[in-house]
Structure 1
């Protein structure tokens, strides 16, 4: 019998909670944020009936054990439409999704958008893609009386007028907002949203269980290098190819230098599309010292980074995993969110621009990072303890804002970060 069945047998209807986003679509960071929120719900609100409207419903149901519905009616939503039939299908899908989204929202008391950079355009993005979907969600919530919560989300300044308008309107319509860093809240305020009552907390993925044993604290030792299929931001479309070539060339040179020093290298990814970068580096370096990790979750990435003596990574949630694991980390930073994260965790000096990877300079920074390894591990241990306390506060505030009538105890609310678990 499920928790919802138990509540029904007791004569009380379970609170109906929906989770929304590009979940189950191959991005490990997005799925990690979902896992953290599910852990909170199962600990603090075990009777809640939870389901999802998401990009990969089959994956979400299989991995997390909750019912899930496809986010878009048109299955080719994220494929480039060049033929008339595809263009017409996308256009019809936008109309159909108005009614599908509203019908789904209406079935819930609360809808949570768990983390993710849903209010930013730091990667290539079209306004009629996810920004439009988010606007439909928040507008439906406001019209139908369903509370929509943007929890621990990322935001950044957006130049494209249509995208900015949709994001701003969606944020205004949400019943609750919190952010993963100060820059996100500042960016939304600059876009014209009143953020006076909004809070900032660490990224939701920090609520996931930390890996057990830490890796070697001496050097030389294995190095994790997190790579990304990086082509710049939404504003860099005209020179995306050049940016990608520079990033790949600089990262490859850095990996080769590590191998020449006899260092084993584990290549990490964070999205299915990163596999092409891994293949290119493996082909270019051609050494048994370079291997590719097969982690398919943030838990797997944390285990990889915990076993390393140091990490150099691009994707935001690769950085989160390494920092959570307490491993000295250097960021190939592609957006302000990476700089903010590194500063929060006491490693602000160890950022290198992803758009202009200088292998020589990167190697110098890396060697300095390793010299300070013992000191930085202590810093990370202290910062992680503080992050855990802040996330306890985040979930307690979320309960107060979204579940005011549910029975709860402080023990339930504050124990969630130590009890996050996957559904069978």
Structure 2
């Protein structure tokens, strides 16, 4: 049998640990169940993806300044030309594959600032090329949300319609796509792909108050909050800083976590404002690193979605600073829906009350997370079985990925 040529696509290797964790989970599945597949990537950070995961990778955009604001005529012209060149480059890349997988990520949402001619346009080029060239494009375990901006909504809707396979990381995502005009009758919901990554050894509770991981984010609101972005960011940073200061006053060691390279200034601002040896910053380069950090903590308070995933996967009680409904949905799935706090309106005193309530129920919640993680593993096993049936129907298949995890 000829080896299947499989492409992976997305903003991978670009500094977002959650995106890379989803890629790692899909690569684990392919290597365990389809070791004959020849895999490469079209992605944001090809050098990182090749060095870290050992697969050939091509840069997503022809124009290297794609994500820089273009103010001069030359830069604007180059960016416009890049859109045309990318249409040809994307189609040529898609044509070389039987299957292309978009691994997780919030590719069908705009919960963070997003322009339609950025990634939504790239995703549309991929899905349209797949349909025209008869390459199966699969959106696997992706996140979605209702989008108010008409051009972005149109690109996202058509991308989803043109894909050969779709699954979502929560029911809210599927409902959002249905509301935006996509037929989701055959689409399934499974846990986030990052739950398929190997779990680190659990650290037994010490019996005395210990370390707290606080996951921070360069949060400025969503796509509809651009006019209030700085105000939202200042309020978020002030609230989180006050919360960290309160933990330090109680003698609790605090470990600051991030999930994207752009979060570094927030860490620096908190370290400077609190100025205590009890507050340190983790230098996590992958979700595996974040899993180890959260497994070693007594409690986690986090903003970024995949910081929460890591805490819950590690079995550590967590409190979500929710910036989108996806965080609330994740917490509800794992039995911690009572422990969400709005990132747009961080109230340090109220957050501290919720934190203390969380810690009082720590033993009970750890048991709950153990049970939910078992169910999650079974559901992801079903996800990979369905993916094989949809994308590799002719393969002689022996399902071993669950055991590999």
1:186-225 matched pairs, under 5 angstroms: 186-216=175-205, 218-225=207-214
Residues 329 and 350 of structure 1 are in contact (CA less than 8 Å); yes or no, is this contact kept in structure 2?
A: yes
Residues 15 and 260 of structure 2 are in contact (CA less than 8 Å); yes or no, is this contact kept in structure 1?
A: yes
Distance 1:289 1:90 in 2: 46
Distance 1:312 1:54 in 2: 31
User: In the alignment, what sits opposite 1:54?
Assistant: 43
Residues 196 and 380 of structure 2 are in contact (CA less than 8 Å); yes or no, is this contact kept in structure 1?
A: yes
User: In the alignment, what sits opposite 2:104?
Assistant: 115
TM-score (ref. length: structure 2): 0.99
SS across alignment from 2:110:
coil
1:376-391 matched pairs, under 5 angstroms: 376-391=365-380
TM-score (ref. length: structure 1): 0.95
Residues 127 and 163 of structure 1 are in contact (CA less than 8 Å); yes or no, is this contact kept in structure 2?
A: yes
From 337, 347, 350, the equivalent of 1:361 is 350
User: In the alignment, what sits opposite 2:404?
Assistant: 419
Q: Please tell me whether residue 134 in structure 1 is matched to residue 119 in structure 2.
A: no
Q: Please tell me whether residue 14 in structure 1 is matched to residue 3 in structure 2.
A: yes
1:218 shift after superposition: 3.0
How many residues matched?
405
Q: Deviations over 1:241-262 (max 9, x none)?
A: 0000000000000000000000
From 216, 222, 233, the equivalent of 1:233 is 222
Distance 2:402 2:80 in 1: 42
Distance 2:138 2:208 in 1: 44
Q: Deviations over 1:187-230 (max 9, x none)?
A: 00000000000000000000000001325253410000000000
Q: Please tell me whether residue 168 in structure 1 is matched to residue 139 in structure 2.
A: no
Distance 2:202 2:222 in 1: 37
Q: Please tell me whether residue 177 in structure 1 is matched to residue 162 in structure 2.
A: no
Q: Please tell me whether residue 318 in structure 1 is matched to residue 307 in structure 2.
A: yes
SS across alignment from 2:191:
coil
SS across alignment from 2:283:
coil
User: In the alignment, what sits opposite 1:5?
Assistant: none
Residues 202 and 315 of structure 2 are in contact (CA less than 8 Å); yes or no, is this contact kept in structure 1?
A: no
1 or 2 for the larger relative contact order (CA 8 Å, sep ≥6)?
Answer: 1
1:419 shift after superposition: 2.5
1:58-77 matched pairs, under 5 angstroms: 58-77=47-66
Q: Please tell me whether residue 91 in structure 1 is matched to residue 91 in structure 2.
A: no
User: In the alignment, what sits opposite 1:406?
Assistant: 395
1:418 shift after superposition: 4.3
Runs of 4+ in structure 1 off by over 3 angstroms are none
